[in-house]
Amino acid sequence: MKKVIVAGAGIWGCTLARRLAEAGREVLVLEKRPSIGGNARCAVDPETGVEIHLYGSHIFHTHDAAVWKFARRFTEFNGYQHKVLVKRGGKVYHLPLGLTLVNKFFGVELAPPDLEAFLTEERRAEIFDAFFRGYTGKQWGRPPESVDPSVIRRVPTRANYDTNYFNDLWQGIPADGYGRLFERLLDHPAISVECNRAFSLKNAAEFSGSVSDVFYSGPIDELFSYKFGALPWRSLRFETETIAVADFQGTSVVNYADAEVPFTRIHEFKHYHPEGRLKASGAVSEGRDWGWASGKTVVTREYPVQWRIGDEPYYPVNDGESARLFARYREEVAAVNGGFAADGMRLTVGGRLGGYRYFDMDQAMADALQTEIGTEGATRP
């Protein structure tokens, strides 16, 4: 049986590679970066023992039972519940938009039945201007009115005091780190991994006759050498520092809503492992302390930047023009498959970058679990 190539070792590619291997296929994973894990890749800081999320915070959360069952085959989760604070005008508030934020911002003491009537259009606009206008403008580099409304709708709202940012049934951080999760996903005798090696249409000929399928999760426009132009993205720049205090901000993420603050948020990664505090205090004897005993902490400031070819793409800019451009690249996938057919190959393009869509980690895993992996079936660009 011919082997299968999975190009890209992020959450989509690693999940798909595992499925293919367990279906009896020989899988070659090609990753252009030096390490596996995609944008969820983490590294343990040797000075402090803190697990640093190298490409911004990643919290696993899902309401999909199949995804949760699959993920827990490869790691246990620590039960971390994500909370986000927002700093505006020198004061700190709890997101999401709920009773905790509204009561503090307006100086009232509302109960759940009162909230809907209280939030008139004027007050909603005041909340938006205070907490989301500056942040959204920084994040997208454009006025909030020109941003796809689906982006704004991603901010959760609720009429209670629940300050958990996500309401998914299952949440957490891998108890022994994200690195081990990806290693275990690819730990199968039918899977081989080559890092620092990218798949391209130019090198596809070398696999002719020996490969039946290529599952590609890199940028779809890059695959075709940007022949129609580059799809628009927003990118990020990170500034990371080690600080000689045990706890810098008291939580994992603080958003900065004021437009004049150049960064959008500060991550303090040790808070993703609250169990480490128990280990450091001696309350439990097992597990790692994840930097809590070091007396130091690691923080990262996140700066949105305009994406250019060669930069890391993070957030697709969804508008009419980008949708039309993406559709043209989808057509190119079909055209390539027409040529590949003579060599007995098939190209499937997916994942966050290939599908030009924003994916949470569980959504990327769900999509990989549902992707057609047989030699027959429709291409999924």
Q: What does DSSP assign to residue 157? A: B
Is residue 116 flagged as an active site residue?
A: no
Residue that is written with structure tokens 């508008």 in the block: 319
Is residue 275 flagged as an active site residue?
A: no
- Among 88, 265, 288, 346, the active-site one is 265
Is residue 234 flagged as an active site residue?
A: yes
Helix residue spans in 31-141 (DSSP H) = 65-71, 99-106, 112-118, 121-128, 134-140
Q: What does DSSP assign to residue 131? A: I
- Among 31, 221, 360, 367, the active-site one is 360
Q: What does DSSP assign to residue 144? A: G
Token pair for residue 27?
A: 């899988």
- Among 26, 358, 372, 380, the active-site one is 358
Is residue 286 flagged as an active site residue?
A: no
Cis peptide before 96 (omega within 30 of 0): yes
| Cα distances (Å, whole numbers) of residue 127 to 101, 257, 297 | 9, 11, 32
Is residue 362 flagged as an active site residue?
A: no
Q: Which amino acid is at 67?
A: V
Is residue 358 flagged as an active site residue?
A: yes
| Listed residue (8, 54, 82, 56) closest to 315, CA to CA | 56
Judge whether 211 and 75 are in contact, CB under 8 Å: no
- Among 158, 180, 357, 380, the active-site one is 158
The Cα 308–Cα 315 span in angstroms is: 13
Cα–chain-centroid distance for residue 71?
A: 15
Is residue 328 flagged as an active site residue?
A: no
| Cα distances (Å, whole numbers) of residue 47 to 35, 243, 281, 302 | 21, 11, 19, 22
- Among 302, 332, 362, 367, the active-site one is 302
- Among 73, 153, 154, 308, the active-site one is 154
Q: Which residues are identified as catalytic?
A: 154, 158, 234, 265, 302, 358, 360
